[in-house]
Structure 1
Amino acid sequence: MRGNPLAERAWVTLRDICDDYGMRADGAELLRVRSNAVFKLRNQIVVRIATAPDALTRLPAVLAVARWLGERGFPAVRPADEISKQPVVHEGRVVTFWHYVPASGRPTTNELGKILRRLHRLPVPPVKLKRFRDPLGEVRDAVLRSEVLPARRQVWLTDRIDELTELWTGMTGEEPPVLLHGDAWIDNLLRRSDGRVVLCDWDGVAVGPRQWDLIHTYHGQRRFGLTRGDVDAFAASYGSDLRAWPGYGTLMEVRDMYAIGIHIRNAASDPFSYRELSRRLDSLIRGDGHARWYMAEPA
């Protein structure tokens, strides 16, 4: 990711953090840089450097839920609490430490459905968690703060977000809320070397309607290359099919809008986000529900 300002700043922060805590930054591997910069150190510790403005208020609950899940034997990543009292703040960046999970092979949507069924059957933990009431709130804020969106597109987005938020409010609340992962996408499921799967990236953990965790897989067929067979396997293993839910179409539109938020936030400093924002927004304005979107630069 040479030349990527987000990655370059994250490397500087990583070196400073490693100096502060007596760890080695040499040989570190950058695993991801989007809403977080995620590094794996040679000592098998994962360092997550958050960029979201609400990270300091949100991450204590994320860590608490991860510990609570660990006590119950749920297959989730574990905080590396032996490093430091977490989270830590370095020059305005919020940092957490996690144990690395060596991955071997790609998990299946069938496995994702099973692990989400298990998650949604757990009680809500005794942790102060956000209530998932406004899925597009962060996107709305990003639109208002954006330095790259033309005025006419800001207006279109604001109006569309308001419309979708009203529709969302009218279709939720029929069922008791559950513990949500918040970003239950197949890429956040890791297969360990022993074959078992582990759910990672709990930054979006919340209490809310289970449909929000489910829509990610269906949206993966719409935008990111999953097949109908992938979705059918997911629905069968979860035990119900979201496509039969009356609010399915609206929820898919909400998820579409949600998925441009990260690129609005990063477009000014990340060339890929700038291009991907244009791709996604153009397809939304055209009403194209089948245009392919990308997680990384297409080959």
Structure 2
Amino acid sequence: MRGSLADEATAVLHEVGRGMGLDTEGARLMRVRSNAVFKLRGEIVVRIATAPDALTRLPVVLSVARWLAERGFPTVRPADELCDHPVVHSGRVVTFWRYVPASGRPTTTQLGRILRDLHRLPVPPFALKRLVDPLAEVRRAVDRSRDVLTPCQRAWLSERIAELTERWEDLENAGPPVLLHGDAWIDNLLRRTDGHVVLCDWDGVAVGPREWDLVHTYHGQRRFGLTAADVDAFAAAYGRDLRVWPGYSTLMEVRDMYAVGIHIRNAARDPFSRRELPRRLDSLATGDGSARWYLAPA
């Protein structure tokens, strides 16, 4: 039996480090979600992707981060001086980033402002994914999950995903497509020691409806402990309150389902996902829209 995702990622880190002459001793595992993220000495962050489509996606992620940085947008930056392209080892895709020293927790006001500025930018002049089917990865995870989900769970999820996808396609968005971060949750905002913030984790970058970036904060109140005041501050800073949009309830249900996909994919080999997945599935199956969900500890 293979080891855990964290163990596998640690082995990949050390092997890649040896091949590049990179000191990986004392590396600190920061989190395991869609990536295993390590902090190295020398102010380098190494991200080892767990998603199956990483090799096709990550070159674009690096390009977008560079494009944003060149325009002065507050984003994390690739460590191009170390390696300017993804490295593939043992089926895993590895990228290298500059570490951002962080202090304190950012606010939803800061998140609203940074997303407002992001959505005002032009779409970058290179090919980007179009967000036309936000549940595509969840659908694939369910199809491949015979060792994690029961046949009844798989059947119910497949039917529910089909229903939500049809409702998503019927939504009327409030404006033209914009450059999306794709996972604009406050935990992907880093507050630097000088108080300014930078946006990190661009793996979901795409072109699509701005509502997709906005819904994460509202969903944070529904599932992850943000308060109504947090959401009010976010809406005021962005300049729009998603709660008055007719598609709000559908989008929240789509976001609920989206938030289950990573744990279906990782449950077989990640202890946290194995514990969290039943909680989220039970909430969806019973229609409990207020049950608290949890994030893996940093």
Specify if TM > 0.5: yes
Instruction: Give the whole-Å Cα distance in 2 for the aligned partners of 1:8 and 1:279.
Output: 25
Partner of 1:266: 266
Instruction: Give the whole-Å Cα distance in 2 for the aligned partners of 1:252 and 1:295.
Output: 18
Partner of 2:131: 132
Partner of 2:249: 249
**Conserved in 2, the CA contact under 8 Å of 1:172 and 1:209?**
no
Amino acid at match of 1:166: E
SS in 1 for 2:222: helix
Return the offset for 1:263.
Answer: 0.3
**Conserved in 2, the CA contact under 8 Å of 1:113 and 1:235?**
yes
Return the offset for 1:159.
Answer: 0.3
Task: Return closer, same or farther for 1:138/1:172 CA change in 2, 3 Å cut-off.
Answer: farther
Amino acid at match of 1:103: A
SS in 2 for 1:171: coil
Partner of 1:220: 220
RMSD value, Cα: 1.4
Instruction: Give the whole-Å Cα distance in 2 for the aligned partners of 1:164 and 1:135.
Output: 10
Partner of 2:111: 112
Instruction: Give the whole-Å Cα distance in 2 for the aligned partners of 1:34 and 1:118.
Output: 27
Return the offset for 1:247.
Answer: 0.1
**Conserved in 1, the CA contact under 8 Å of 2:37 and 2:47?**
yes
Return the offset for 1:296.
Answer: 2.4
Report Cα offsets for 1:195-228 as digits up to 9, x if no partner.
Answer: 1100000000000000000000000000000000
| Equivalent residue runs for 1:88-99 within 5 Å | 88-99=87-98
Identity of matched residues, %: 73
Amino acid at match of 1:284: L
Instruction: Give the whole-Å Cα distance in 2 for the aligned partners of 1:79 and 1:141.
Output: 29
Instruction: Give the whole-Å Cα distance in 2 for the aligned partners of 1:41 and 1:222.
Output: 35
SS in 1 for 2:190: strand
Instruction: Give the whole-Å Cα distance in 2 for the aligned partners of 1:233 and 1:138.
Output: 31
Amino acid at match of 2:292: R
Instruction: Give the whole-Å Cα distance in 1 for the aligned partners of 2:84 and 2:214.
Output: 33
Instruction: Give the whole-Å Cα distance in 1 for the aligned partners of 2:141 and 2:225.
Output: 27
| Equivalent residue runs for 1:49-128 within 5 Å | 49-128=48-127
**Conserved in 2, the CA contact under 8 Å of 1:32 and 1:38?**
yes
| Equivalent residue runs for 1:128-207 within 5 Å | 128-146=127-145, 147-207=147-207
Return the offset for 1:271.
Answer: 2.0
Q: Which runs of no fewer than 5 residues in structure 1 stay unpaired? A: none
Q: Which runs of no fewer than 5 residues in structure 2 stay unpaired? A: none
Instruction: Give the whole-Å Cα distance in 1 for the aligned partners of 2:270 and 2:79.
Output: 30
Q: Which consecutive segments of 4 or more residues in structure 1 shift more than 3 A?
A: none
**Conserved in 1, the CA contact under 8 Å of 2:78 and 2:84?**
no
SS in 2 for 1:259: helix
**For structure 1, which segment, 16-25 or 244-253, has the greater mean C-alpha deviation from structure 2 after superposition?**
16-25
**For structure 1, which segment, 187-196 or 167-176, has the greater mean C-alpha deviation from structure 2 after superposition?**
167-176
Instruction: Give the whole-Å Cα distance in 1 for the aligned partners of 2:66 and 2:45.
Output: 16
Aligned length: 296
Amino acid at match of 2:48: I
Amino acid at match of 1:117: R
Instruction: Give the whole-Å Cα distance in 2 for the aligned partners of 1:226 and 1:220.
Output: 5
Return the offset for 1:172.
Answer: 4.0
